[in-house]
Amino acid sequence: MTIGSLFSGIGGLELGLERAGLGPTIWQAETDPSLRKLLGRLTVYVIPRPAPDACEAFFRQPFDERSGNERPRDDDHDGQLDEDGPDDLNGDGLITMMRVEDPTGSYMPHPDDARVMIEADPAKGQQGRYRLFVEGYDNDKDEQQGEDPAGGVALNRNFTFRYPYFGQGAGPHQISEPETRAVADFAFSHPNIAAVLSFTPEDNLMKPWKPKSDEPTSGIITAVLSDDAAYLDHLAEQYAEIHGGEDPPESPKGEGSLSEWAYFHYGRWSLGCRGWWIPKVETEAETDDEKTSDDETSEEETSKEEASDDEASDDEASKEDKSKEQDGKADVNA
């Protein structure tokens, strides 16, 4: 029996599987005997672009990061579809944001980089200071800008497990889109598939799934089984050792995601990883603190060395004095 694996980047934000090393590895099979032997008993199915609309948005102006397809959607519930999206006012090919200081705003500067805006969390004692506006006109004259852009259904929120009913971008119902239906139909028509790897923010290789302490013996399973967790943890350890990445971001909940669907509803081993993430960068303040700490440590070590030298000098002087006293006593006795 041929065991198959399915590779996919369903979210639309994970571009270029060849950058993950998959393409070159398969191409090397023509000349690499070990790879040729491996592919002789294993089958790898690759879906390089399961979210074509979202991927294509990265390559047309104005450049736009999106996760949805082209299905029209009424985000502001005014009976019109995609009528008020952002506009490239200055024709530079980019959609930019403007922040306006406002004590009633819900955004605040990021503590590590004031150029980045984040939503304030009142539960943490944070208070918003800014409002954010997207570049564009008020196309539907409702005194809001860019509130109903094109974006469609986010395919990674359209699968059946923990489907977010009426959630933003989740679609009218599970597997409502031709793209998600195609992936599901392909999976079920290939029962030899044993594992699914998704390039997705729902990363369970750097952030492994954890089983419940009170694992149910019946009913719907909503957490990874303890028996399975041991194998997934082992794979995660191997992945982390090979990958070497540090400070991975937290994984989202994954309602309606392909990776959770593959494990809980398709019944296969499911692995998810990010194609990349923004590395943590030290701020100037952190660097200054480290320099100050290093300077203080260096000063302490220098002081200890000087103190040690002084003590050594005192010891030598004391020895010389004792030697002179002994010589004096010897002369007197003589």
Using an 8 Å Cβ cutoff, are 108 and 132 in contact?
no
CA-nearest of 146, 275, 147 to 206 is: 275
Is the pTM higher than 0.75? The answer reads: no
Amino acid at the residue 106: S
CB 156 within 8 A of CB 177: no
pLDDT for position 280: 74
Contact 198, 181 (CB under 8 A): no
Please give the Cα distance from 9 to 48 (Å, whole number). 7
The pLDDT, as a whole number, for residue 333 is 45
Residue 247: its pLDDT value, please? 83
Residues of the chain below pLDDT 70 = 1-23, 64, 73-84, 139-143, 145-151, 283-334
> How many C-beta neighbours within 10 Å does residue 143 have?
7
3-state secondary structure of 60: coil
* Residue 90 CA from chain centroid, whole number: 32
